[in-house]
Amino acid sequence: MFRSTIEAAVRDALQAIGAGGVVFIVERPADMAHGDYSTNAAMIARVDARELTAQLHIEGVERIEVVGKFINFFLSHETIVSYKQDIPQIYEGKKVLVEYTSPNLFKPLHIGNLIGNILGESVSRLLEATGADVKRLNYPSDIGMTIAKSVWGLQELELNPEDIAELGKAYVAGNDAYESGEAKEKIEEINRALYENSNAELSALRKRGIATSLRHLHQLCERLGTKKFDKEIFESESGPVGQNIVKEHVGDVFEESEGAVVYKGEQTRVFLTSQGLPTYEAKEVGLFELKTKAYPDFDISITVTGKEQQDFFRVVFDAVRKLFPDKTAGKTLAHIPTSFLRLTTGKMSSRLGNVITGESLLEDLTRATRGREDVAVGAIKYTVLKSGSTKDILFDPEKSLSLDGDSGPYLQYAHTRALSLIKAAKEASIIAEKPLSPAAGRKGDASESGFSARTTLERTLLHFPEVIERAAKELEPHYVTTYLTELASAFNSWYASERVIVDGKVSSHALGLVAAVEQTLAKGLQVLGIPAPEEM
């Protein structure tokens, strides 16, 4: 990455004029007119910018400009077009566990469930692209009231546990019967029986329903392009494990309070109920034990869940560190909160009948994309991955998702265009051409601060590795999305302004540029988990 080269040079130069040790930044200026990189070093170190720049001689930098308080660096054209886009392997040698998706089995997968899956997959790919050995984990809920309600529904309405749609119906019926009080006790009894595995018929129904649900989940993951999970750990497994661990640590980590076993951290959380049953908190402890038993040599453990669980994870991680000081020493435990998905039409609920399942969304959108599921997947993922994780995602079922402009298909389309140019160029004769000089690439006078579409594209291409690095470091794929949109836009502008193949001839430089765009878009889309189709 060229940025680190400049950073090192500036550091040395500061040292040379006796102003070493300050924390400055080298960044990509918002406006290209301010160079390929810029630094605030002179301002921060309170030194004369000219004195500082006099010390700077960086190979590949053609011009250093002092504008006001900033020092701007312009790379030479040769450097820009020949620079290798190697992605820094900042997670090299690290083993990372990424737990995501983790649905309630039996319940239909709605579009909210998709967010965790899409974000978790992209984070996994981002980590892999930067050198990590990633293990994908799924933690589905296969026991508890949701299941009991569904099993009641299956039994009462004699529904088919092999049919995902009937499973959904069973849950809705069970939930209604529970909330209306009609079958509250009966369902609680079923819940106990399932926990104790004391009723063969009920347990069999549960088992069949789980199998159906899982099969369905895996199918949807495949359609979305989510890689197979390396391991699935079920709530029915983590419960007893967590329960035992917590019991063993009453007195040192946990304490009893009003009959329950609690942890007093930043806030007080119940781990075992007064009946001695494990809560979600205790199950999380069990999950950690199971995870680390399977992957004892992990370095980073990431959990992707809804952001309403943020406080919960702060406390649980705290407790886990106290419970497992050896296992957690030097390790990173992280929670990535996912945004809420809000509907413009109000809250999603099965009662109101406005639940949008992952599948129905995919199918509706596939119709809108003239039958292209890969384009539909791109549209959905782009929407999820385009903004930072702190914001809610607003979803308008009427307008559905955008297919043009700032969208997944926009990126995919730019990529297919680049590919088709490359294909067409195979039949053209290639003429060697020296890259145009930057001066020649500039249009009009400099005061317009206008660069040719070609120069803009070349200079945008340069920043890909830094963007990936930052996204991986911060676990924020949206930086990649934003960058790719910018790149696709620069490519489309250039495409419209300049013909690449003229009279069966193509310049080597232009062809190289197209190839670089194609590879960068493909790599970026790959990291986002968005398909890069060859044709659209």
CB of 180 to RNA, least distance (A): 18
Q: Which is nearer to RNA, 160 or 250 (CB)?
A: 250
CB of 419 to RNA, least distance (A): 7
CB of 248 to RNA, least distance (A): 19
Q: Using CB atoms within 10 Å of the CB of residue 126, give its burial: 0 to 12 exposed, 13 to 18 middle, 19+ buried.
A: buried
Q: Which is nearer to RNA, 84 or 370 (CB)?
A: 370
Q: Which is nearer to RNA, 20 or 504 (CB)?
A: 504
Q: Which is nearer to RNA, 20 or 228 (CB)?
A: 20
Q: Print the SS3 string covering 239-304.
A: HHHHHHHHHHCECCCEEEECCEEEEECCCEEEEECCCCCECHHHHHHHHHHHHHHHCCCCCEEEEE
CB of 95 to RNA, least distance (A): 27
Q: Which is nearer to RNA, 47 or 299 (CB)?
A: 47
Handedness of CA 98, 101, 104, 106 (dihedral sign): negative
Question: Cα separation of 48 and 42, whole Å?
Answer: 6
* Residue 225 backbone zone (phi > 0: left; psi -120 to 50: alpha; other: beta): left
CB of 30 to RNA, least distance (A): 5
Q: Which is nearer to RNA, 257 or 332 (CB)?
A: 257
Sequence-distant (≥ 6) Cβ neighbours of residue 370 within 8 angstroms: none
Q: Which is nearer to RNA, 213 or 298 (CB)?
A: 213
Locate 502 and state its tokens.
């003229």
Q: What is the DSSP letter of 324?
A: -
Question: Cα separation of 149 and 359, whole Å?
Answer: 23
DSSP H or E segment with residue 74: strand 70-75
CB of 261 to RNA, least distance (A): 8
CA 150 to chain CA mean position, Å: 32
Q: Which is nearer to RNA, 112 or 134 (CB)?
A: 112
For the chain, the straight-line distance linking the first and the last C-alpha, in angstroms and rounded, comes to 33
Task: Please answer whether residues 413 and 536 qualify as being in contact, where contact means their C-beta atoms are separated by less than 8 angstroms.
Answer: yes
Q: Is 184 helix (H, G, I), strand (E, B) or coil?
A: helix
CB of 459 to RNA, least distance (A): 14
CB of 294 to RNA, least distance (A): 20
